[in-house]
Chain A
């Protein structure tokens, strides 16, 4: 059974940093691209970032590029999101999501999701 468990959310001041983690199990982690998706009541779902199975290719939404860094440790089956220079508009529930076995970024969809971790950026 595929399981994705996010952690690391919390309250942080504007300009601060936070690191999210996602522990994966139930599948061969290194064979699958992974992604982070966030959600707010106002804007709904927003794709944030994705990374290929090997970690060689990373992709970012314009809203986070240059501030967020996605990475993975295939030896520990863990996906991470380092978030720097946080803004109030980054406040959201952050989901870790698994991508089906596809080879091209444009084919990406999300077949399994974690339960999410809440990030609040406020002074």
Chain B
């Protein structure tokens, strides 16, 4: 199973919005309502930011939102803050009892 496709890097200035895409196929991202997103700061464990495509766990700021169109899921971070600088990974069920991550996107806050 191939990894989901994410841009290697994105950037934005404080206060701006950025969107990170996660492209798969109808057999994974587009086929099931179970895409999740993770934030990872250097040297730290990943943190769940979004689950079930659009749902935010308790404690995650509402600046983080997500959506999906066809086979592409997206994570949008509004009102960028310095602490948002991190790596972001998408994740999805990929059929046949397989789970797959995206390749990861490095977010730089300029």
Contact = CB atoms under 8 A, between A and B. Distances in A.
Given A44-B3, A47-B100, A47-B101, A106 B93 contact: yes
B57 interface: yes
Interface residues of B, number: 25
Contact of B93 (A105, A111, A115): A105
Interface stretch (B12-20, B32-40, B76-84): B32-40
A95 B93 contact: no
Interface in B56-93: 57, 89, 91, 93
B45 interface: yes
Nearest to A105: B97
A109 B36 contact: yes
A106 B32 CA distance: 8
Nearest to A95: B45
A107 interface: yes
B47 interface: yes
A115 B91 CA distance: 19
Given A45-B38, A46-B101, A109 B45 contact: no
A109 B91 contact: yes
A108 B98 contact: no
Interface residues of A, number: 23
Interface string A85-118: 0000000000100001000011111110111100
A111 B48 contact: yes
B10 interface: no
B104 A116 contact: no
Question: Which of B32, B99, B102, B104 has most A Cβ within 10 Å?
Answer: B99
A61 B34 contact: no
Contacts of A61: 1, 98-99
B91 A62 contact: no
Closest 8 pairs (CB-CB, A-B): A113-B45, A109-B36, A106-B93, A47-B99, A44-B104, A45-B101, A109-B51, A111-B48
Given A107-B93, A110-B36, A110-B91, 6 more contacts: A43-B3, A44-B103, A45-B46, A108-B99, A111-B51, A115-B45
